[in-house]
Each structure stands twice: as structure tokens, then as C-alpha cells.
Amino acid sequence: MPRYSLSRIALAGLLLAAASFPASAQTWPTRPVHVVLSQPPGSSPDILARLIADRLGKAWDKPVVVENRPGGQNVVGALAVLKAPADGYTFYHATAAALVINPYTFKALPYDPKKDFVPVGMVGQSGFVVAANPATGFKSIGDLVAFAKANPDKLSVATEGPKTFSGMMAAMFASTAGVKMVAVPYSGVQPGILDTIAGRTQVTFQAVAATRAHLQRGALLPLAVTTAKRLPGLDQVPTLGETYPGFEYSGWQAVVAPRGTPAEALRRYSADLASVLADPDIVKRLFDLGVVAEAGTAEQLGKYLDAEHARWAKLTKDIGFVPE
């Protein structure tokens, strides 16, 4: 999957445009800006959103308030944004699930990501890892596949459910590798990870950020990552694409706004978000959360979202996923 990134020239141009925009015309924001998040307080996206909100608030000299609206596979958060006035004071810090995956997993979705939202800017990408309980004896993804083929329906994998990123990755892997796995759904990230560590499941597909501490202390063994390239800090862990060319998926976060949001608000938010994400300190702090900062323009995000829609449409078709 092509890496979403912004060249230094493009970033410089974007920032120069923001700086050269007449100060008298920069009337936005004049009051607090609200950023809605579909994840609960304390989650990785929540920490990241608040970190960025703090920086933007200082740049604008106005509070940037992060509102947590978890539930309904991101539907609650998305609808909260759409019910708010499109006046430039409500934005959506969204994930891949909310903007791309949901349309292919829900038979009926009460919002249309393509029609209801407009892009503001990418925030970052996060890799997922295939991690096993060390007691399985698996040392590589090849060992896992060999076991699954020799023991049909005996390999259990912990995910957050069939409609989630981890569940879809597990299903896609099983289809690609030609194996069967028993998918065990959990209501959250950590319960599935802890059950894999305890041996109640053998493998889990989960975000690197959520598994990092367990990987570092050896409670879980990383077999492969789902990203296009090997990840910093897990350089010795191969990508699934090295074994199965074309298997390249990553989670990501981006900011969008309700369609109809004033151009000035979109322009300034996009430019200042890019500026924040270019700060080395922010880049490091995001990396510590398992996220690779990806500054970019609204136009670049729009093209990326189109590519991701095509990608996930193919994935759901390949694994025979039936929307519910």
C-alpha cells in the first residue's frame, strides 16, 4: 500500500499559504472548537487527539475540546458530528473503521462517509501485529500456517469481532493463507490480548500500540506485521506481504468535517494540523503511542480515502463478508 506522506516541498507550501493568508481575514476560530472521537477516554486515539488538541488550542488561542462518543462501531461518534451545525466548530477525529470499513460491513449505515464528510488532514498510521502465545511453539508465520493446515479448526484467534479491523485482518489472512481459524470475539482490545497471554486463545491480531508492552516482556511473540514495510522497533519481524504479496493493511486516524463546513475553517485547521504533525516532539510522542505521524493536505487525504475504499471493497469481496 503506498505510504501516505507529505513531501517537504508540499508541507512548506502548505504552511507558507497559511502564513501568507491576510491576518484580517483569519477570523476563525472565535470560540471553542469541538473534536469528536468515537473511542473512550484513555484509549490510544484519545491520548493522541488530546495531544494535538492542546497544540492547536495554543496556536488558535481558543480551547479545543475533545468529546468522547464511543459505541455502535463508531456510529455514535459519526452521528454526533453530523447532528452538530456545519459551522466550522465541530470536527471528527476518525479511524479507518468509521470512514472506510463500516460501509462494507453494515447492511444499512445511518451516515455516508463519502457524502457526509469532507477531508481535513491525515493524522497518522498504526501497524497491526500477528502475535502468538509463546507456548504454541510458533516461531514464524509459516509455523502458524503449518499448524492450522495440520489441525483444521483448532487454531483460535482473538479479535474484537468480525466487523472490526482486527477481525477483518484475521479473516483476510485465513483466506489468503488457505487455512481455517476459530475466531473468538471480544468486547475490547485488552480482554482478547490477555486471553491469548493466558493461553485461552493461541493468536491475536491487534494494534502494535496495544501489544507493545506484552511483546517487550515476552508475554506475546510477534510473528508478522500487516503493514507494507517493517515497523521501527519491530525491525526483525517480517511483514505478511513478504510471504503473501499484496497483503498490506494498516490502521489510521484522520480528521474530517461535516460537509458544508466553511472553507476558512477547513483551510486553517488543515494547515495548522500539518504544522503540529511536523514538530519532532509530536512525531516522537505519536511514535511512542504506536502511531507514525503522517502530515498532509486535505486533497491528499481525499485521494487516500478513495484508494482505501477500493481496497476494502476488494477485501470484503475476497473473504465473502456479508454485511449485517
68-127 pLDDT, tens digit per residue, is 999 988 999 999 999 999 999 999 999 998 999 999 989 999 999 999 999 999 999 988
Domains 8-125+251-318 and 128-243 equal at CATH topology level: yes
Separation CA 178–CA 201 (nearest Å): 20
Supply the Cα-derived Rg of the chain in whole angstroms.
20
CATH architecture, domain defined by 128-243: 3-Layer(aba) Sandwich (3.40)
- Secondary structure E strands in the chain: 33-37, 64-68, 90-95, 117-126, 128-132, 156-159, 182-185, 203-207, 221-225, 251-258, 292-293
> If DSSP codes are grouped into helix, strand and coil, which group holds residue 79?
helix
> Is the distance from CB of 203 to CB of 132 less than 8 angstroms?
yes
Q: Domain ranges in the chain?
A: 8-125+251-318, 128-243
CATH architecture, domain defined by 8-125+251-318: 3-Layer(aba) Sandwich (3.40)
Residue 24: its pLDDT value, please?
A: 36
Separation CA 266–CA 91 (nearest Å): 10
Separation CA 199–CA 197 (nearest Å): 5
> Is the distance from CB of 323 to CB of 312 less than 8 angstroms?
no
Low-confidence ranges of the chain (pLDDT < 70): 1-26
Residue 5: its pLDDT value, please?
A: 47
Region of 301 on the Ramachandran plot (φ > 0 left; ψ -120 to 50 alpha; else beta): alpha
42-65 pLDDT, tens digit per residue, is 888 899 999 999 999 999 999 999
